[in-house]
Amino acid sequence: MEADIPLRCLAYTSRSNQNWTDADLRELAERAGARNLALGITGRLLFAQGSFIQVLEGAALAPQDLYHRIRRDPRHADVTLLIDMRVGTRSYPSWGMELLTEHDLTPEQTSSVLSQVEKAAQEPAISWDSLLGSIRKLEAGRPATAVNTTPRQSRADVTLDRLLAAARSVLLRDGLTDASMKAVAAEANVSLNTAYRYFSSTEQIVGLMVHRWQTSRIANFAGRLAELRVDNEAQLAGEIADNVSQQYLSNDLIPLRIRLVALRDYHRIAYAELWAFAGLVVQTLERNGLTSADPTRQERIAMALAGIAAQAKMAALHAPDQLHGTRFRDDMASTLTRAMRGAEPAPGA
């Protein structure tokens, strides 16, 4: 079990050798996240002012092996190791490789973290807690809902919901390219200043729409877990795999021609929600008598969920026929079953 294997945390910085669009970076992070989760590696990826800063954590030598591959990657230059040390626990147990860019941060936050990284590169003795604390400050200051003004009254919630509904109508009518904040405000029957109080751009609105669609599907299926009865882990894993496939095949957000663009450019794996969902999966297993002595069970399940979500998204974008096939569903279910059973198979398995 992982609890018996030494954990290693590693952080590095590098200079990019190519120009990256936001879409390129998101695809890079999700490909890396899916691959890293398969290796048991979690962490955080930041990109600011042409530089990568990445935290890698995992068991045994996995982070070091990945770091050496990154050093050979021609897309990276001036790769500098910041931290490499053994730790007792993961700092990011529920994150595959979430991306944070300077577009998510204020100029002051970007300057602060780059300054901290430069200091770490010059002073090898700098503490891990200091560097990690600098990154966590960025996350703490980032709105979870990506809304400029967080609603604090029911009336504000109504306005936010009205803007989202209006944005959906405008997208259906004008498409993503021609949708504008002015059109959204007019459709919602609010002033343009009110619209900008909540959102800086139509891209921000679409991002929240996609996030709400994704997390509502997770929440809806989580509600089913409370009453679900299963005989074994494979049965529960199959139910979840079916739900993941349907989530990416579903056409209930916006029509297919817009949904695929939204999925490619605005969708992010909901790692925090998947971590909570993994806890509910553990409870469901135990309620059905499928207990385990593995203390890392929730972590294993969360990693598997994030991994198959990334694979399903990739399939939806580039090989949608796979989502209709039983082989893809069975592969996802097999991954989840192994995670649920952990290092020690359940009795009778």
CATH for 188: 1.10.10.60
Predicted confidence band at 334 (pLDDT cuts at 50, 70, 90)? very high
On whether residue 314 sits in a domain, the answer given is yes
Structure confidence at residue 182 (pLDDT): 92
Per-residue pLDDT tens for 167-217?
Answer: 888 888 888 788 899 999 999 999 988 888 888 888 888 888 888 777 777
Residue 70 domain flag: yes
3-state secondary structure 11-31: EEEEEECCCCCHHHHHHHHHH
Would you state the pLDDT for residue 128?
A: 55
Of residues 60 and 169, more confidently modeled: 169
pLDDT of residue 185: 92
| Sign of the C-alpha dihedral computed for residues 33, 310, 325 and 278 taken in this order | positive
Phi-psi label, residue 189: left if phi above 0, alpha if psi -120 to 50, beta otherwise: left
Most confident stretch, 4-18, 27-41, 128-142, 176-190: 176-190
CA neighbor of 244 nearest in space, from 300, 313, 338: 313
d(CA 194, CA 161): 13
Distance separating alpha carbons of residues 303 and 316, to the nearest angstrom: 20
State what percent of residues in the chain have pLDDT above 70.
80
CATH number, residue 131: 3.30.70.100
Answer yes or no: are the C-beta atoms of 20 and 28 closer than 8 Å: yes
Give the per-residue pLDDT at 132.
63
Ranked by mean pLDDT, the top range of 97-106, 123-132, 182-191, 196-205 is: 182-191
> Do 128 and 251 fall into the same domain?
no
pLDDT beyond 90 at 240: yes
Identify the bridge partners of residue 110 per DSSP, sorted by sequence position.
none
Is the separation of the CB atoms in 197 and 220 below 8 Å?
Answer: no
Do 160 and 134 share a structural domain?
no
Distance between CA atoms of residues 94 and 173, nearest Å: 38
> Taking the alpha carbons of 110, 147, 260, 309 in that order, is the dihedral positive or negative?
positive
The parent domain of residue 181 ranges over: 154-204
pTM across the whole model: 0.58
Residues 126 and 167 in one domain: no
Which of residues 319 and 136 earns the better pLDDT score? Answer: 319
Coil, helix or strand at residue 179: coil
Look up tokens 């090989």; give the residue. 319
Alpha helices per DSSP H over the chain:
22-38, 62-72, 107-122, 128-140, 154-178, 181-188, 192-198, 202-225, 233-249, 256-265, 271-287, 297-318, 320-324, 326-341
Structurally, the chain folds into a number of domains equal to 3
Of 40-44, 92-96, 327-331, least confident by mean pLDDT is: 92-96
Give how far the C-alpha of residue 324 lies from the chain's centroid of Cα atoms, to the nearest Å: 24
Check whether residue 83 and residue 164 sit in a common domain. Answer: no
Q: What average pLDDT does range 103-120 have in this prediction? A: 74
Whole-number average pLDDT of the chain: 78
Q: How far apart are CA 53 and CA 169, in angstroms?
A: 39
User: Do 124 and 32 belong together in one domain?
Assistant: yes
Taken as a whole, the chain contains a residue count of: 349
Region 31-44: mean pLDDT is 74
Q: Is residue 320 part of a domain?
A: yes
